[in-house]
Structure 1
Amino acid sequence: MSADKGLLLHSLLSMIARFIGVGLNFALHILLARMLTLGNYGDVKMLLTLVTGTALMSRIGIEQLIVKEIASVEEHQQTFGTQFLKNSYHVIFFTSFVFISLWLLFSPWIADSLFGNITHQNMMLAGIGILFFNLVTINAFYFKSLRMASSSALVQNAIPAISFLLLIGIFWSSFQQNQNYLNLYTASNVLAGILSVMVILPWLNRKRAQQPNIPRFAQIIKRSLPLAPVSLFPFFMLYSDTVMVGALLNSEQVGLYSTAAQISFISLFFLGALDATIYPRLLNISKNHPDKLQSFFWKATALVILGLLLVTLVMAVLAKPALGLFGETFKQATFALLILLAAQWLRATSLTFSFMFIIENQVKRLNIVMVMSLIINLFANYYLINRYGMEGAATATLIANGFLAGSVVILFFHHKLLVKYKHHD
């Protein structure tokens, strides 16, 4: 199979897997939106955002390091990958417990500041999900590093949704009593983490000879920290507006805006599918077949930009009907959704260019641009939300993503990141 056909086929399979995950997540959130009041649904969305964000910070970039280190080696050297994953678990357990402790300390204040109606006990209990959410993510990124994009997508997107839906079905009669819907979200994180470990056990149990020079605890932390902003700042860009909507407006507005944001993330699910297909291959080609990288890079770039443009246009046409699935009230967020779709496409245009900064060990420049984009996003959110509500939050995302994409592409050409890779057809 040619490289071009292989890229398209694996991208298609990854998209199908992502679509399954997207479908399950939408079924879950449509169910929640129709069963709960808008305010309570907003609380669920806010809790999900906070747990996800705290888990992301606690990983300190380890998921990015897993892909960078393992995807670069040839297939016959995968003993390295298994041992590296096991060593990464040690770090994840340690950092997760540190952040769970911080969660327990600050959760009463967070509950009073950002939520309309949530007990301190339920808020503290939700911190348990940080560790198990991290297990899901780490295991998904391990599959990504092995260029198993479909398995990665199913672990990361489908397993958490299935876990939550299963628990809702089991505890249907008591779902709305004593904020059990929040506790079921926490329990679903625990179940999803356990299931993800069960899925990956065959790889962990394979008998292989020990390899020397596998990075251990301190080395993993040292290598992962520079990569942490690669995951951290895009998340903050995506969710800072949701948190600020919650801080500046009310739970109902959080429910409306976060639903619009979730629908806009459909394009990012497709982007994630392309990311999982393209990035590990770029890493492997840069290390083992550098003469082929330039050609692969431009084909991958065209696939991302044109593919996501098509998805964005389709989603724009379906914006109002998609919001209507959650209830008639949610159609109020249609204009915000259209702005967010444009913002996500802008972000997607710089995906492959960002990869080259990581491959060329110039992550510092990428991090600086992302920090600047986040600062712009925060100031724009504060200014625009106060004046235009959730549409202002969406516009802030559009402005920040435009700055990010433009800056990354300009720096890419300025520093000539492809020059050393001789073109080869």
Structure 2
Amino acid sequence: MKLNNPSLLWQTAFSIIARFAGVGLNFAVAIIITRTLPMNEAGMLFMLMTLVTGISLFSRVGVEQWLVREVAGLPEQGLAEAQLRHLYSAFRLLLITSFIFMLIWLAISPVVKRNLFDGDIHLGLLWVAALGIFFFNLVMTNSAFMKAAHHISESLLIQNALPAVCMMLVILLLWPFFPVYQNYLWIYTLSVVLAGLVSFYWLRAWLPSLKSRGAPITRQSVFQSSLPLAPVSYFAFMMLWADTLMTGWLLNNEDVALFTVAARLSFVSGFFLGALDATIYPRLLRMHKQNPEKLRKFFWQATLLVAVVLSVVTVIIAAVGKPVLAVFNEGYVQAATTLVILLLGQLVRGLGITFSFMFIIREQVRYLNGLLFVALLANLLANWLLIPQYGIEGAAMATLAANLLLTGGVIVFFFKNRLLSGYA
């Protein structure tokens, strides 16, 4: 099979370039953190960033998935007005759900302080970080809208580069305060607030027409449509980040720092996967609705492209792992074995991504949700068993085992349910 779709290849290439702009900036932020802060304090900041990202995701209740699915398949007639109608409707629901999860954050903060931060974090700074939930949701929703509107590079820049740029800018402006008295915690929160506000810059072409958007879709209707899509995002996130949370729960802040740096390096392949996702998924949706006769051929081209790109990236990163870890700090080289295991886990997960898309497109998400739930339980159990014995390498092994279970199950049910039947 030849990859003879130049549009797919070129769009993927531009997406990868945009993705790597974000990768480089995020690594720059991580290097500043690891070279400026002691390992235990770097671990606290990394854990806070993980929590804000995770709680924000849960508070979105699948809205960004709904937004991409609905907007990507809109007809050309009256397109701008329809796009704005969906975006405005998404914001109306997120305003409520974000507030609810911010209250939950405040309520559980004492428990989180004790169990995930070894009791070392200042509670007031943990409360302030609740603001990050709403503003991170603005970043992710605006990114999802640009993705659905086929502005792929802008979407990736908003999602990946913008938060890193804002954090670097705020660190630069407040550098004398950054390394002392846990100021790095509220500085991170301030950077998320800034990123949420700046993310509207890319929507400036739509915003003047906001008044002509038409009547919004009711919150109840959006919620009912988005909620079935939420578990896909929830479980995918937990599969990636449960190891960090379990490491914080079972080990200490230093181990969190080591594991997080290895995980971030392994996510370089994930960034490639994200670029492929942003390119492939909207095109599959549009073909399903408007050109179903082209979908089968495009699906297998995209699947081959994912396998080739991720395999090459995995081999390269594994080969240069130790020198790159040393850039963060010589102490982080001890995470080299963890990095290799995590890279294999990312590769296994990526091989099933196009198959997963078809469950969503064919409205058989319940199968995907079931598989994700089983894999998540397996991941948590494996972490519980392996981390006490093998430390951060045990957490990485748990990820690999869970991803093998997930990808294997996705492929089996893909063929069993004949998800490509009906396409030429």
The aligned counterpart of 1:63 is 64
Deviation at 1:201, TM superposition (A): 2.9
Matched, 1:160 2:145: no
Matched, 1:187 2:190: yes
The aligned counterpart of 1:196 is 199
Partners of 2:360 and 2:408 in 1: how far apart? 18
Letter in 2 for 1:4: N
1:136 and 1:192 in contact (8 A); partners too: yes
The aligned counterpart of 1:229 is 231
Tell me which of 119, 134, 149 is aligned to 2:122. Answer: 119
The aligned counterpart of 1:330 is 332
Tell me which of 172, 178, 199 is aligned to 1:175. Answer: 178
- Aligned-partner SS, 2:129: helix
1:90 and 1:217 in contact (8 A); partners too: yes
Structure 1 unmatched ranges of 5 or more: none
The aligned counterpart of 1:72 is 73
TM-aligned CA distance change 1:284 to 1:78, over 3 Å: farther
Matched, 1:8 2:9: yes
2:21 and 2:161 in contact (8 A); partners too: yes
Partners of 2:308 and 2:301 in 1: how far apart? 11
Tell me which of 130, 138, 148 is aligned to 1:135. Answer: 138
1:62 and 1:88 in contact (8 A); partners too: yes
Partners of 1:375 and 1:147 in 2: how far apart? 35
2:62 and 2:233 in contact (8 A); partners too: yes
- Aligned-partner SS, 2:422: coil
Deviation at 1:88, TM superposition (A): 0.6
Deviation at 1:210, TM superposition (A): 4.8
2:25 and 2:161 in contact (8 A); partners too: yes
Letter in 1 for 2:5: D
What whole-Å deviation, never above 9, does each CA across 1:111-138 have from its counterpart, x for those lacking one? 1111032111001110011000000000
Partners of 1:282 and 1:193 in 2: how far apart? 29
Deviation at 1:202, TM superposition (A): 2.2
Partners of 2:328 and 2:4 in 1: how far apart? 42
TM-aligned CA distance change 1:420 to 1:98, over 3 Å: same
Deviation at 1:293, TM superposition (A): 0.5
TM-score by length of 2: 0.97
Greater shift after overlay, 6-15 or 198-207?
A: 198-207
2:248 and 2:255 in contact (8 A); partners too: yes
TM-aligned CA distance change 1:3 to 1:93, over 3 Å: farther
- Aligned-partner SS, 1:178: coil
The aligned counterpart of 1:400 is 402
The aligned counterpart of 2:153 is 150
The aligned counterpart of 1:293 is 295
- Written as runs of structure 1 = structure 2, the 5 A alignment for 1:246-261 is 246-261=248-263
Deviation at 1:208, TM superposition (A): 7.9
- Aligned-partner SS, 1:276: helix
What is the alpha-carbon root mean square deviation over aligned residues?
1.3
Partners of 1:207 and 1:240 in 2: how far apart? 39
The aligned counterpart of 2:270 is 268
Letter in 2 for 1:253: D
Letter in 2 for 1:153: L
TM-score by length of 1: 0.97
Partners of 1:60 and 1:393 in 2: how far apart? 27
2:386 and 2:394 in contact (8 A); partners too: yes
The aligned counterpart of 1:371 is 373
- Written as runs of structure 1 = structure 2, the 5 A alignment for 1:23-42 is 23-42=24-43
Deviation at 1:230, TM superposition (A): 1.2
Letter in 2 for 1:100: M
Partners of 2:268 and 2:64 in 1: how far apart? 22
Greater shift after overlay, 106-115 or 347-356?
A: 106-115
Deviation at 1:81, TM superposition (A): 1.4
Deviation at 1:75, TM superposition (A): 3.7
Partners of 1:207 and 1:58 in 2: how far apart? 25
The aligned counterpart of 2:306 is 304
- Aligned-partner SS, 2:73: coil
Greater shift after overlay, 169-178 or 22-31?
A: 169-178
Partners of 2:101 and 2:210 in 1: how far apart? 34
Letter in 2 for 1:138: T
The aligned counterpart of 2:221 is 219
Partners of 2:128 and 2:149 in 1: how far apart? 34
Structure 2 unmatched ranges of 5 or more: none
Identity, % of aligned positions = 45
Partners of 1:264 and 1:322 in 2: how far apart? 11
- Aligned-partner SS, 1:173: coil
Partners of 2:398 and 2:5 in 1: how far apart? 37
Matched pairs, number: 420
2:12 and 2:276 in contact (8 A); partners too: yes
The aligned counterpart of 1:89 is 91
Partners of 1:209 and 1:250 in 2: how far apart? 53
Letter in 1 for 2:65: Q
Letter in 2 for 1:275: D
Deviation at 1:209, TM superposition (A): 5.1
Tell me which of 416, 419, 422 is aligned to 2:418. Answer: 416
1:70 and 1:78 in contact (8 A); partners too: no
Partners of 1:421 and 1:20 in 2: how far apart? 37
Partners of 2:148 and 2:210 in 1: how far apart? 20
